[in-house]
């Protein structure tokens, strides 16, 4: 992948939604942003992590905020530039490339908008290989890379630079700052060099999103064998196909928590429960967990072929429950401690489904 | 005594009218052909129905139409709309009209400005409204826009800036129709703004129809209240429809489903409406159409309207049947449409249509040429009808949400194409006046009101917040004309807002009830 142009946007957004695990924000809004950025600045150059100069400054970026608030009050032009300039001022040197902090929904596309705005290439990689709601839950924290300085730009142009003692504290302070700035902010964090990025980021993330989107679109257009090709290429397993018979949702400490209950399409006696907190986290059948975070759990609407978000899952939808393997680093003991089911409050061990890496 | 309600539905092929009495019985009906000048079909259908009833007894006339959606899809008769976005410097990454089809912007796109102001998710002012910038926008719009849309960040929670700017523009641009977005759309700035722009673009379309309808009523000596139906199948006064035309975009299919509910008495059922050129399949849930959970696009523009969840297929009574290369027969998507009464074989025409095949197969009997004289043999007709049955079974299966079986209501002029048995369907119901179900749905439409609110449940209680929303919806329904003692809550929609402080949720409550009799 050399660049992202207008023709790539739909596939990227669709793939990002699949890897968004039911969360990750409104991909449509992100699509509009990226289309416009490409209209204004031309196609966004994409580089592989291995091609970034080893000592060059890499600028990871994300947009923070609740999807419902983002839908009303998304960033303005120049917010990403201000965040990235703050980071470069703090580092005392110019950056060479932008890096998506995570994948899924708006997280995949916004960094490309930021890259277009500052005229830098975007690296085909990311720090999570899925969305996590907390700034500290990254492959970079596992690698001992400092989250600070975190540069936070609010929707009205205010900039905060947070220099925290550790990544966990950095997450807490950033969360408080975002709340104070109106619940939407552009965030740059984890300044690192090209060598660190190559060694620790999840590689090929943008290419992967685009490929997943392309394969899913083939299913939409009814291409024979498309479903099998989709599963083979993503390494995804279908753990259940069922109709949503119940959805419970409530908000707790700022996140949407809830469960969806599914009745198997062919065997109505089989019930499946999906637990979510913004993203789908645990899948349980007959009291036994069959899939857990950090693997990516996505519901796909059988009738439309579109990924279903945790905000939009509704009674009566017919869905396929897909499990896409997590990045190998998340499946090691320290990765599971930071991003496994216990990190989300479930008294459960990670269910290793023996998925390909 | 004035007890009759008349419904008119203007479809692509036919214009139907039905008169319904106080008990809900259809006392007169007529099917006319839709022509280029819509009023021709409307006048003809109305005159035919009124000939059979005491026109002094008509209390109201309700029009359902796909005019608005057709105008957008076909890019016809659209007004030029200036757009004022309130919320800068935030939101400038996606200016108004981003992602719109170019040809639509070319026709409907006017001056655009993004000015400071707006409110956050709790309704707190983000920045003072920049009134000088609003005035400058008004100056830019003079002679360059027929209508203006105003959309402010947070206006669903607090519409103060949006309404203030709209009032200013009303004064400064007296010849422009001004649409504040919170009057036509819900949460989601871009989608709400899009709805306001579409509303502005449609300014003349429904207004012209309403004026022509008024003239037709005077000619016919009909003195009664006139309404259009809204997307949810409830009533909108003709004046308000002219003001908020975008709210009528889905009235066609909704009316047919509400009519199917009324005629069959079923609250939960699959509805299959087979017209001249197309078939719509939807689901009734509690007597109302189940709405789509997918984002809705109208003419390539994204909105957040809750539109009926429909599957459509190019399959109708006028669908052309041709031999296929594989030795079988292909059905549609071409249709003779309104020309069925001249072009179909059963009327002495030269085109083999699905209606001809249905007659030979014994599903129905009409036309001027007897089945025995048609150049189609029984086995061929049976094979074509079986292939149509399979398509209908597939559509029905796709729309059916749960594993349980549902009854099916077959309506529309070509409902004879629906077989008596379909997988997962308990029974196929064919109401006597199903051919004009859409006009019946319009005639029996109820008045409704909706309350949109974002609440923090932890400040009082969830129950108190929902009670307040129910009360607001009830009051809105009564303001719209519903009989206060017959209003009921038809929909409660509650979405927790992730990451918001406290226990926040968006609550949408709709109430509806039959009109209070004068």
Chain B residues closer than 8 Å to A73 by CB: 87, 90-91, 118, 120-121, 126, 153-154, 189
The dihedral built from the CA positions of residue A141, A143, A148 and A151, taken in this order, carries a sign that is negative
Touching B: A residues 248-267, CB under 8 Å = 249-252, 254-256, 263, 265
Q: Which residues are CB-contacts of A299 (< 8 A; sequence separation ≥ 6)?
A: A22, A260, A274, A280, A307, A308, A313, A317, A319, A320, A321, A322
Residue by residue, pLDDT tens for chain B (518 residues) are 568 999 999 887 889 999 999 888 999 999 998 877 888 889 999 999 999 899 889 989 999 988 888 888 888 889 999 999 999 999 999 999 999 999 999 999 999 999 999 998 777 888 999 999 999 999 999 999 999 999 999 998 788 999 999 999 999 999 999 999 998 888 889 999 999 999 999 988 888 888 888 888 998 888 888 999 988 778 888 998 999 999 888 888 889 999 999 999 999 999 999 988 889 999 998 888 887 766 678 888 988 777 888 888 888 899 999 988 877 888 888 888 878 888 999 999 999 999 999 999 999 888 888 888 888 888 999 999 999 999 998 888 777 655 568 899 999 989 999 999 988 889 999 999 999 999 999 999 998 888 878 888 888 888 899 999 999 999 999 988 889 999 988 877 776 655 466 777 778 888 989 877 65
Q: Would the CB atoms of A155 and B505 count as touching at under 8 Å? A: no
Q: Would the CB atoms of B293 and A312 count as touching at under 8 Å? A: yes
Burial tier of B387 (Cβ tally within 10 Å: 0-12, 13-18, 19+): middle
Could you give the number of structural domains in chain A?
Answer: 2
Distance CA B283, CA B149 (A): 34
Chain A residues closer than 8 Å to B294 by CB: 304, 306
Q: How close does chain B come to A354, measured CA to CA in Å?
A: 32
Residue A143: inside a domain: yes
Please report where in the chains the tokens 């004068």 appear, as a residue. Answer: B518
* Shared-domain flag, residues A134 and A240: no
Chain A residues closer than 8 Å to B497 by CB: 66, 68-69, 251
Distance CA A134, CA A170 (A): 10
Chain A residues closer than 8 Å to B190 by CB: 29, 32, 71
* Shared-domain flag, residues A12 and A98: yes
* Shared-domain flag, residues A13 and A101: yes
Q: How close does chain B come to A110, measured CA to CA in Å?
A: 10
Residue A156, chain B, CB below 8 Å: the answer is: yes
Distance CA B354, CA B383 (A): 12
Helix/strand/coil (H/E/C) assignment for every residue in B103-122: HHHHHHEEEEEEEECCECCC
Copy the structure tokens of residue B245: 């035309």
By DSSP bridging, strand A288-292 and strand A279-285 are antiparallel
Residue A134: inside a domain: yes
Q: To probe the interface with A, which of B93, B461, B466 has the most A CB atoms within 10 Å? A: B93
Output the domain CATH number for residue A153. Answer: 3.40.1610.10
3-state secondary structure of A311: coil
Contact at 8 Å (CB) between A141 and A201? no
Residue A353: inside a domain: no
For residue B505, give the chain A residue with the closest CA. Answer: A251
Determine what percent of chain A falls in helix, strand and coil, rounding each to the nearest 5. Answer: 35, 30, 35
* Shared-domain flag, residues A119 and A254: no
Determine what percent of chain B falls in helix, strand and coil, rounding each to the nearest 5. Answer: 35, 30, 35
For residue A264, give the chain B residue with the closest CA. Answer: B403
For residue A258, give the chain B residue with the closest CA. Answer: B496
Residue A75: inside a domain: yes
* Shared-domain flag, residues A156 and A276: no
* Shared-domain flag, residues A188 and A134: yes
Distance CA B350, CA B365 (A): 18
Helix axes A106-118, A27-41, angle to 10 degrees: 20
Burial tier of A109 (Cβ tally within 10 Å: 0-12, 13-18, 19+): buried
* Shared-domain flag, residues A57 and A14: yes
Contact at 8 Å (CB) between B58 and B76? no
In B127-177, where does DSSP find H-type helix? 131-141, 160-172
Please report where in the chains the tokens 């819900």 appear, as a residue. Answer: B186
Q: Which residues are CB-contacts of B250 (< 8 A; sequence separation ≥ 6)?
A: B69, B231, B305, B307, B308
Residue range(s) defining the domain that contains residue A305: 236-344
Q: Would the CB atoms of A66 and B500 count as touching at under 8 Å? A: yes
Distance CA B319, CA B355 (A): 8
Q: How close does chain A come to B348, measured CA to CA in Å?
A: 40
Closest Cβ opposite residue A68 in set B92, B95, B187: B187
By DSSP bridging, strand A57-65 and strand A44-47 are unpaired
Interface of B with A (CB under 8 A): 87-95, 98-99, 118, 120-121, 126-127, 153-154, 156, 187-190, 290, 293-295, 302, 398, 401-403, 495-501, 503-506
Contact at 8 Å (CB) between B152 and B158? no
Distance CA A59, CA A122 (A): 9
Contact at 8 Å (CB) between A281 and A292? yes
* Shared-domain flag, residues A153 and A242: no
Chain A residues closer than 8 Å to B92 by CB: 76-77
Distance CA B235, CA B339 (A): 32
Contact at 8 Å (CB) between B396 and B424? yes
Taking one residue from A and the other from B, the number of pairs with CB-CB distance under 8 angstroms is: 140
| Peptide bond before residue B333 is cis, with ω within 30 degrees of 0 | yes
For residue B122, give the chain A residue with the closest CA. Answer: A182
Output the domain CATH number for residue A240. Answer: 2.40.390.10
Q: Which residues are CB-contacts of B279 (< 8 A; sequence separation ≥ 6)?
A: B272, B273, B312, B313, B315, B316, B392, B395, B412, B417
Q: Would the CB atoms of A183 and B294 count as touching at under 8 Å? A: no
Distance CA B508, CA B465 (A): 11
Distance CA B290, CA B284 (A): 6
Touching B: A residues 282-301, CB under 8 Å = none
**Angle ∠(A254,A257,A261) on CA atoms, nearest 5:** 165
ipTM of the complex: 0.89
Q: To probe the interface with B, which of A10, A73, A78, A133 has the most B CB atoms within 10 Å? A: A73
Contact at 8 Å (CB) between A321 and A351? no
* Shared-domain flag, residues A196 and A245: no
Per-residue pLDDT tens digits for A36-51: 999 999 999 999 999 9
Burial tier of A156 (Cβ tally within 10 Å: 0-12, 13-18, 19+): middle
Domain boundary among A163, A184, A205: A205
* Shared-domain flag, residues A201 and A281: no
* Shared-domain flag, residues A146 and A292: no
Residue A302: inside a domain: yes
Domain boundary among A166, A188, A205: A205
> pTM (2 decimals)?
0.86
Distance CA B277, CA B294 (A): 25
């Amino acid at each position: 992948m050399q660049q992202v142009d207008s023709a790539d946007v739909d596939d990227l957004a669709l793939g990002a939604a699949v890897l968004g695990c039911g969360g990750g924000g409104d991909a449509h809004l992100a699509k509009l942003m990226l289309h416009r950025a490409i209209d204004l600045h031309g196609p966004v150059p994409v580089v592989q992590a291995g091609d970034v100069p080893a000592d060059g400054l890499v600028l990871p970026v994300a947009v923070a905020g609740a999807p419902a608030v983002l839908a009303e009050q998304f960033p303005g032009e120049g917010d990403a530039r201000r965040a990235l300039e703050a980071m470069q001022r703090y580092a005392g040197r110019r950056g060479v490339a932008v890096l998506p902090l995570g994948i899924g929904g708006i997280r995949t596309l916004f960094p490309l908008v930021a890259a277009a705005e500052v005229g830098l290439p975007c690296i085909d990689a990311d720090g999570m290989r899925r969305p996590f709601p907390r700034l500290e839950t990254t492959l970079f924290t596992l690698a001992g890379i400092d989250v600070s300085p975190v540069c936070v730009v609010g929707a009205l142009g205010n900039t905060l630079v947070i220099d925290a003692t550790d990544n966990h504290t950095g997450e807490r302070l950033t969360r408080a700052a975002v709340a104070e700035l109106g619940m939407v902010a552009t965030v740059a964090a984890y300044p690192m060099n090209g060598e660190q990025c190559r060694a620790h980021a999840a590689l090929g993330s943008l290419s992967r999103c685009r490929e997943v989107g392309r394969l899913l679109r083939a299913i939409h257009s009814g291409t024979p064998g498309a479903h099998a090709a989709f599963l083979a290429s993503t390494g995804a397993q279908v753990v259940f196909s069922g109709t949503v018979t119940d959805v419970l949702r409530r908000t707790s400490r700022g996140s949407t928590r809830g469960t969806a209950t599914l009745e198997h399409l062919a065997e109505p006696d089989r019930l499946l429960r999906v637990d979510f907190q913004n993203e789908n986290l645990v899948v349980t059948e007959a009291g036994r967990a069959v899939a857990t975070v950090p693997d990516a759990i996505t519901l796909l609407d059988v009738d439309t072929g579109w990924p279903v978000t945790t905000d939009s899952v509704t009674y009566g939808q017919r869905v396929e429950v897909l499990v896409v393997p997590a990045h190998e680093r998340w499946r090691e003991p320290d990765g599971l401690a930071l991003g496994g089911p216990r990190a989300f409050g479930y008294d459960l061990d990670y269910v290793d489904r023996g998925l390909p890496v | 005594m004035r007890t009759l309600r008349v419904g008119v539905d203007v479809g692509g092929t036919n214009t139907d009218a039905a008169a319904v009495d106080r008990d809900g019985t259809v006392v007169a009906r007529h099917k006319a052909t839709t022509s280029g000048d819509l009023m021709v079909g409307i006048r003809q259908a109305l005159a035919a129905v009124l000939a059979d009833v005491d026109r002094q007894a008509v209390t109201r006339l309700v029009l359902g139409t796909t005019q608005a959606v057709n105008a957008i899809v076909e890019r016809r008769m659209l007004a030029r709309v200036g757009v004022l976005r309130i919320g800068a410097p935030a939101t400038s990454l996606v200016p108004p009209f981003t992602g719109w089809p170019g040809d639509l912007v070319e026709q409907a796109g006017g001056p655009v400005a993004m000015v400071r102001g707006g409110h956050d998710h709790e309704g707190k002012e983000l920045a003072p409204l920049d009134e000088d910038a609003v005035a400058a926008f008004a100056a830019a719009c003079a002679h360059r826009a027929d209508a203006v849309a105003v959309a402010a960040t947070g206006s669903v929670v607090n519409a103060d800036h949006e309404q203030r700017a709209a009032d200013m523009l009303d004064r400064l641009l007296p010849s422009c129709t001004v649409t504040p977005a919170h009057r036509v759309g819900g949460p989601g700035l871009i989608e709400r703004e899009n709805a306001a722009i579409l509303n502005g673009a449609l300014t003349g379309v429904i207004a012209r129809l309403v004026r022509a309808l008024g003239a037709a009523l005077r000619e016919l000596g009909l003195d009664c209240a006139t309404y259009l139906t809204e997307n949810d199948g409830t009533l909108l006064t003709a004046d308000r429809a002219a003001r908020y035309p975008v709210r009528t975009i889905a009235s066609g299919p909704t009316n047919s489903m509400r009519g199917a509910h009324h005629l069959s008495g079923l609250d939960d059922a699959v509805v299959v409406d087979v017209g001249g050129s197309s078939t719509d399949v939807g689901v009734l849930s509690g007597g109302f159409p189940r709405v789509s959970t997918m984002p809705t696009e109208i003419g390539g523009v994204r909105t957040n309207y809750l539109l009926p969840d429909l599957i459509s297929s190019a399959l109708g009574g006028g669908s052309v049947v041709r031999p296929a290369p594989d030795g079988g027969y292909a059905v549609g998507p071409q249709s003779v449409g309104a020309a069925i009464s001249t072009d179909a074989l059963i009327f002495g025409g030269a085109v083999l249509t699905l209606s001809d095949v249905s007659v030979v197969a014994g599903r129905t009997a009409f036309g001027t040429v007897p089945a025995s004289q048609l150049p189609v043999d029984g086995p061929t007709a049976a094979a074509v009808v079986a292939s149509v049955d399979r398509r209908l079974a597939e559509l029905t299966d796709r729309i059916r949400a749960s594993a349980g079986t549902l009854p099916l209501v077959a309506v529309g002029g070509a409902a004879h194409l629906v077989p008596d048995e379909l997988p997962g369907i308990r029974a196929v119901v064919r109401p006597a006046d199903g051919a004009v179900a859409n006009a019946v749905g319009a005639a029996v439409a109820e008045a409704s009101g909706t309350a949109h609110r974002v609440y923090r449940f932890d400040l009082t209680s969830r129950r108190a917040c929902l009670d307040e929303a129910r009360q607001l919806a009830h009051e809105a329904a009564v303001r719209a004309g519903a009989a206060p003692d017959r209003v009921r809550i038809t929909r409660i929609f509650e979405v927790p807002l992730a990451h918001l402080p406290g226990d926040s949720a968006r609550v949408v409550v709709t109430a509806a009830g039959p009109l209070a009799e004068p």
